[in-house]
Amino acid sequence: MRRPAALVLAFTVVAVACTSGGLDDSADTTATTAATTTEAPTTTAPSTTSEAEPTTTEAAAPEVSAELSGVGDELFPLLGNSGYDVAAYEIDLDLTGDELMATTVVSLTATQDLDRFHLDLVGMTVDGVAIDGEAVTFDRDERELIITPNAPLTEGDAVAVTVSYRGTPEPVADDAGPFALGWQTREWGTFVASEPSGAASWFPGNDHPTDKATFRISVTVPEGVAAVAPGLLEGIEERGDGAVTYRWVSDRQMATYLASVATGPFTITDDAGPDGVVIRHAVVTARADDLLADLDSTVPILEWMVDRFGAYPFESYGVVTVPDDLAFALENQTLSLFGADFIDFGDDFADQIEAHELAHHWFGNLVSPARWQDIWLNEGWATWAEYAWAADQGFADWDELAAEAPFFGDMGPLLEVTPTTLFDAKVYIRGGLGIEALRRTVGDEAFDAVIDTWLTRFADSAATTDDFLAVVDEITGDEGGSVMRAWIFDDEMPAFPAEG
């Protein structure tokens, strides 16, 4: 994620104006969503083969299990679940009616014996749950969907869990986000902004970056509406009544918070990029020429990143530009989310933000934070890449950023974050400066080896700050290790070293 106020003083005034506009918009939308949800049918359809078990949310058992809900994330104890590993999500969404009709098939493998297990799902009405085609008992408690198999799962069992649900997705209140997170409904269409806790607003899953999976997302929309999702477009089918189904497939690993859908009046491009990467943008059709001209920097930025970080890790890349002013941009996997405001900021700044979101595809998307406390690994690296790229183009300066850092507020230790300060300026600025301080201390050759080892060792996985420090120690010894530790842990932000 990247907000303008976090980094560039020159844009602070613009950012404040955009932020308040965005919040107003989202407050309206949230209120509308809540009202709609309240009025939606709330009966729970029969979903069980066990006569003894009631299936409504009032069911007495099973209860939420502390051992099964959450993966031990200190900042977000309820995110994710324990006891299984997800291999694939197959999400079918139908947006042609008054409410979202959805089916998600979660293919998972038990990592322990389970007489029940949890998926994360917020709001929505669950009509039924089945395991390998057989209806099973389920219960709801806050964001936990508690599923009881007809026969307990044994460690190593691989099953397909089908959840049928409907409703108007309710974004998840999160103080760190620019608005309630997850699925967003607007007059012109929909989009998704989930980091860190919003994915459960639109599909049931194991909502933590430590459990990545492949995704197939099919979206049925009314005539004249386009739907875009991560990966490659497998096909478009007409349903007969004018509705159209877009089938998107991503065979690469993806964390739940990076999965997304956008529907609306979009033009979707499909161009051959470097090394076989499909360049796919989704832009508002009414401004398509203008927006695509702004996005012509995508390929040169991608080439700069590949040169520095190695092969681009996914099948496709592009940007979806929504008509709203969002006051942030977000690195949804293969489909970075941009509001009209960021694109309209002007070429250099829009390109710098595009560099930031693209850099996340290595730092955050390929190698994800194993705990949300490690968010600086995402934002510090994306800020480093953004500034390194912009400095190469001649419109950014590390020493100026270091001088301006104190004006952005708290620049304290990087792991001292809370759910409400997850995206504070320090994780970007102190994080990015710390990484540049490492480069200036150990030189480009060792620095590039750190990047290569980090990205290779933890590809398609998640890692912690300690994992990162172990790589720095291994490659650079105490010289780099002590610098990096000071930038991460010292109470005061260290002095920024001069270019060697």
Instruction: For the CB of residue 110, give the shortest distance to Zn ion in the complex, in Å.
Output: 34
Instruction: For the CB of residue 157, give the shortest distance to Zn ion in the complex, in Å.
Output: 38
Instruction: For the CB of residue 379, give the shortest distance to Zn ion in the complex, in Å.
Output: 5
What tokens were used for 262?
A: 């956008």
Total of chain residues touching Zn ion, rule CB under 5 A: 4
Residue 1 as a binder of Zn ion (CB under 5 A): the answer is yes
Instruction: For the CB of residue 381, give the shortest distance to Zn ion in the complex, in Å.
Output: 9
Helical segments of 360-443, H only: 375-393, 398-404, 425-442
Which CB, 153 or 258, lies closer to Zn ion?
258
Find the part of the chain contacting Zn ion (CB under 5 A) among 58-66, 71-79, 96-104, 379-387.
379-387
DSSP type of residue 434: H
Residue 2 as a binder of Zn ion (CB under 5 A): the answer is yes
Find the part of the chain contacting Zn ion (CB under 5 A) among 112-120, 170-178, 372-380, 488-496.
372-380
Residue carrying the six token digits 């620019």: 178
Which CB, 6 or 102, lies closer to Zn ion?
6
Find the part of the chain contacting Zn ion (CB under 5 A) among 65-73, 140-148, 284-292, 376-384.
376-384
User: What is the residue type of 452?
Assistant: D
Find the part of the chain contacting Zn ion (CB under 5 A) among 77-85, 174-182, 190-198, 380-388.
380-388
- Residues in contact with Zn ion, shown as a per-residue x/- string from 259 to 298 under the rule CB under 5 A: ----------------------------------------
What tokens were used for 10?
A: 């020159």
37 neighbors 123 (Cβ within 8 angstroms): yes
Nearest Cα to Cα of residue 423 among 439, 409, 443, 436: 409
Which CB, 119 or 429, lies closer to Zn ion?
429
Find the part of the chain contacting Zn ion (CB under 5 A) among 124-132, 230-238, 377-385, 431-439.
377-385
179: enclosing H helix or E strand: none
Which CB, 324 or 379, lies closer to Zn ion?
379
Instruction: For the CB of residue 417, give the shortest distance to Zn ion in the complex, in Å.
Output: 14
- Spatial distance between the Cα atoms of 179 and 181, rounded to a whole number of angstroms: 6
Nearest Cα to Cα of residue 414 among 383, 458, 439, 445: 383
Residue 382 as a binder of Zn ion (CB under 5 A): the answer is yes
Nearest Cα to Cα of residue 427 among 367, 467, 384: 384
Residue 361 as a binder of Zn ion (CB under 5 A): the answer is no
CA distances to 5, 155, 368, 461 from 209, in Å = 26, 22, 6, 8
Residues paired with residue 181 on neighbouring β-strands, in sequence order: 172
Which CB, 4 or 481, lies closer to Zn ion?
4
Find the part of the chain contacting Zn ion (CB under 5 A) among 129-137, 260-268, 274-282, 382-390.
382-390
Find the part of the chain contacting Zn ion (CB under 5 A) among 57-65, 74-82, 161-169, 373-381.
373-381
Find the part of the chain contacting Zn ion (CB under 5 A) among 80-88, 97-105, 381-389, 441-449.
381-389
Which CB, 165 or 362, lies closer to Zn ion?
362
Which CB, 385 or 471, lies closer to Zn ion?
385
Instruction: For the CB of residue 331, give the shortest distance to Zn ion in the complex, in Å.
Output: 6
Instruction: Determine the angle formed by the axes of helices 465-489 and 444-457, rounding to 10 degrees.
Output: 140
Nearest Cα to Cα of residue 378 among 398, 408, 356, 410: 356
Residue 330 as a binder of Zn ion (CB under 5 A): the answer is no
Which CB, 3 or 143, lies closer to Zn ion?
3
Rounded to 5 degrees, what angle do the CA atoms 391, 396, 397 make?
A: 90
Which CB, 7 or 146, lies closer to Zn ion?
7
Rounded to 5 degrees, what angle do the CA atoms 442, 446, 449 make?
A: 150
Instruction: For the CB of residue 327, give the shortest distance to Zn ion in the complex, in Å.
Output: 14
Instruction: For the CB of residue 269, give the shortest distance to Zn ion in the complex, in Å.
Output: 24
- Spatial distance between the Cα atoms of 426 and 392, rounded to a whole number of angstroms: 23
Nearest Cα to Cα of residue 356 among 278, 307, 301, 394: 301
Residues paired with residue 220 on neighbouring β-strands, in sequence order: 94, 245
Instruction: For the CB of residue 176, give the shortest distance to Zn ion in the complex, in Å.
Output: 13
18: enclosing H helix or E strand: helix 12-39
- Residues in contact with Zn ion, shown as a per-residue x/- string from 39 to 78 under the rule CB under 5 A: ----------------------------------------
Phi and psi for 157 in degrees, rounded to 5? Answer: -65, 130
User: What is the residue type of 76?
Assistant: F
Instruction: For the CB of residue 488, give the shortest distance to Zn ion in the complex, in Å.
Output: 18
Instruction: For the CB of residue 328, give the shortest distance to Zn ion in the complex, in Å.
Output: 9
Residue carrying the six token digits 């994780």: 427
What tokens were used for 364?
A: 């955050």
Which CB, 84 or 454, lies closer to Zn ion?
454
Which CB, 304 or 384, lies closer to Zn ion?
384
- Spatial distance between the Cα atoms of 143 and 166, rounded to a whole number of angstroms: 15
126: enclosing H helix or E strand: strand 125-131
Which CB, 144 or 424, lies closer to Zn ion?
424
Instruction: For the CB of residue 174, give the shortest distance to Zn ion in the complex, in Å.
Output: 16
Q: Is the dihedral of CA 186, 190, 191, 193 positive or negative?
A: positive
Instruction: For the CB of residue 456, give the shortest distance to Zn ion in the complex, in Å.
Output: 22
CA dihedral 117, 195, 266, 279 (to 10 degrees): -100
Which CB, 29 or 334, lies closer to Zn ion?
334
Interface with Zn ion (CB under 5 A): 1-2, 379, 382
